[in-house]
Each structure stands twice: as structure tokens, then as C-alpha cells.
Chain A
Amino acid sequence: MVGLLVVSHSAKAAEGIRDIAAEMGSAAAPVAAVGGDPEGGIGTDATAIGEALAALDADEVVVLVDLGSAVMNADLAIEGSDKTAVVADAPVLEGTVEATVAATSPKATLESVREAAERARETSKR
């Protein structure tokens, strides 16, 4: 099963994006959210991302991120993780929605879900 992890500088943003995406998916695509720096402020934290990755009920995980340090801390967390995980190069909200839909397909693979997330870069607002 392919799961999704939303990483934002804000825990609230990450949780909100997860909630929006979860409406599109089902229990077949677990989506977790993590955000905030080690003191709970705005930022990202490799340790917290690693813990969220470990807690996610999926062996393969596509990670959706917002700004710069989210990418680096997600990379660090993945390096230290037992799971197969990739960071998608995608807008975090649209990418998470696209990826959640793709992850609910019975044929979903890590690559197909990542590609779905990255297709969101092309999505027009109108």
C-alpha cells in the first residue's frame, strides 16, 4: 500500500491539507500530516517527520512538502527510515489531492502516485 505524508512549515496547514485530501480518498490511502519546528513554531523538523513516516500504515510513502527546508528535512527523515519513500516535486495541496486519488487505485505504485502528485504542477485553476 502506498501512503502519503504531508509536510508543511505549519502543523495546521499540514493537517488541513490532509483533511481536504482525505475527502477524495478512502481508507485505502492513508494520509498523515506533520508540521512545525522542534519547538512547535513555524518550521520543519526531521525527527518529527521521521516519526510520522514510521507511524504511517504503509510500506511505501510519497511525501508532499511545502517550502525549502521541508524538502531537506524530509530527505533526512527518509535517509533514516526503513520505508521506501520519495519526495514529490509538486505543489503541496494540489499534489496531495492528486496523489490521494491515485493511491486509492488498486494498481497504485510508488511511482504512479508520485507521478500523479507531480502532474499537479500543470493543473490550471480555471
Chain B
Amino acid sequence: MAADTDHGAAVVAAVARVADRIADERAYLTDLDSAIGDADHGANLDRGFRAAVEQVDALDDPTPEEAVQTVGTALISEVGGAAGPLYGGGLMRAAGQLSDGITAESTVAFAEAYLDSVRDRGDARVGQKTMVDALVPAVHTYKKSIEEDDLDPLAALAKAVDACRRGVAFTVPIRAEKGRASYLGWRSVGHPDPGATSTLFLAEELLAAAAAALDREVPTDLDATAPAPPGADGDRDGDPDRDGAATADAADTADEGGS
């Protein structure tokens, strides 16, 4: 099926883009993780995505489902730590949603299945300073943008990435309740969560890959209306470029996150 083959190639291109970004951010992610974790997030993800690229490149005309399955398996076997089962398990669980190709509907189902897997496996909800804080607003924004606001998928994805960025900012002023960072108690406050941050990098590269596959520019005229939250205003991590603007989406979805 020609369409599937093209979609598979788009997934393979997206994986390469994600892997390059993670390689570029390896030191930054490890720095974040050294503040509140075990200082291996960048190295682990880099190793995992390098293996993922090798393995998807070896596939012969993969369908999107096959390509995503392969990435998931590679991450589980190469990453270790919490990121392996969270990222890899999530992709393996969600891959099947792409069995009929990449459409607005299938990508919403994919995003929701991925989020469910991460939430279940990590037993995490919004507000605990985990990747869920970035994922929940991103996935809910994407779904709403497609299903209610009738945006085209690329615009919806751009809004989702924006929500994801605000979700990362939301993790800065809060105290970790999960993972290694939870042992630090209040000392975890003031740092962005590494998993939320790497989730944002993935989302940004997915957006760039989608724009490239569609031969369009990444939409920038987003109607960002959410107000800036207290305490997430900026220089806590010393890098203003990485700071988001608001946490409204994360807060709005906190109840669902706990369900």
C-alpha cells in the first residue's frame, strides 16, 4: 500500500529527527537529571534513540505501526531506567492505533493510548512533577483541537506542543512525588522535570517532522490565550528560551489526570 509506505517513511524520518535532537540535548537532559535524579536521562535516551534509528533503518518499507513498534522495542531494551518502559512501553501500546495509517483520528487515538500507557505504568497523575505534566496538556490540547475546534492536524499539533511547553514550565515550581526526585522532597522544587523536558523535545521534533512530511511551515500563529501562572515566570532554570508561559492546560486537566 503506497500510502502506508509513505507514512512509514515519515515515521522513520521523524525518528531520525528525534534521535538527532536527543543527541543534541543529551548534556542538557543529564544536567536536569543530575539536579533531581540520577543523572543518566540524556545518556539513556540517546543510547535508546540511536538504537531505534538503526533498527528502523533496517526495516524494509515499514508501515507506521511496524516502525513505531520497532522504536518501542529498541527503547525498552536499550534505555533501562524509568524512561525505557515509559517511552518504549507507551509506543508499543500505542503503535496499533496507526494500523490504518496516519490520519487526524488515528493520531488522536495514538496520543491517548500513549498517555494511558505512561500514566498506568508510572502510576502518575498531573501535579507530581513527571512527564505526565507535559503529556496530559499536550494530548488533551491535540484531541480538543482536532475534535472540537476542527483544526487541521498540523495546527493542532503546534498547539499541543505549545501546551506541552507550558506543562514543562508547570513542573518547575512544584515538588516531585514520583521517582528518584521524590526522595529530595523540597529540594526538587525549582527544576524542570527531565522526563517532561524530553517529552517536549520529542513533541517539538514530531511537529517539525510532520511539517516536513506535509511540505509546510510549522504554524506559529497560535492563539495562545492562557495566562502566566504564578511561580513559573522564568529564570528558575537559568534558560529563558526554555521557559513556557502558563500552566492553565495542565491545571484544567488535573482532575482527569487523577482518574
A binding-site residues for B, Cβ under 8 Å: 37-39, 41-47, 67-69, 72-73, 75-76
Contact = CB atoms under 8 A, between A and B. Distances in A.
A45 B80 contact: yes
B77 A76 contact: no
B178 interface: yes
Given A47-B76, A68-B178, A41 B89 contact: no
Contact of B85 (A39, A41, A67, A75): A75
Given A37-B44, A41-B40, A68-B82, A46 B121 contact: no
B78 interface: yes
A66 to B, nearest CB: 11
Interface string B40-53: 10001001000000
Contacts of B96: none
A47 B180 contact: no
A76 B81 contact: no
Interface in B125-146: none
B86 interface: yes
B77 A68 contact: no
Contacts of B82: 68-69, 72
A69 B78 CA distance: 14
| Chain B: interface size category | 20 to 34
A46 B178 contact: no
Given A45-B80, A46-B76, A72-B89, 16 more contacts: A37-B40, A38-B77, A38-B79, A43-B38, A43-B40, A43-B44, A45-B84, A46-B80, A46-B84, A47-B76, A69-B80, A69-B82, A72-B84, A72-B85, A72-B121, A73-B85
B229 interface: no
Nearest to A68: B179
Contacts of A43: 38, 40, 44, 80-81
Given A42-B38, A43-B40, A67-B180, A76 B89 contact: yes
Contacts of B179: 68-69
A38 B78 contact: yes
Contacts of A38: 47, 77-80
A69 B40 CA distance: 13
B76 A76 contact: yes
Nearest to A44: B80
B81 A37 contact: yes
Contacts of A75: 85, 121
Contacts of B84: 45-46, 69, 72-73
Contacts of B38: 42-43
A46 B180 contact: no
B173 interface: no
B47 A69 contact: no
Contacts of B234: none
27 contacts: A37-B40, A38-B47, A38-B77, A38-B79, A39-B80, A41-B40, A42-B38, A43-B40, A43-B44, A44-B80, A45-B80, A45-B84, A46-B80, A46-B84, A67-B180, A68-B179, A69-B82, A69-B84, A69-B85, A72-B82, A72-B86, A72-B89, A72-B121, A73-B80, A73-B85, A75-B85, A76-B89
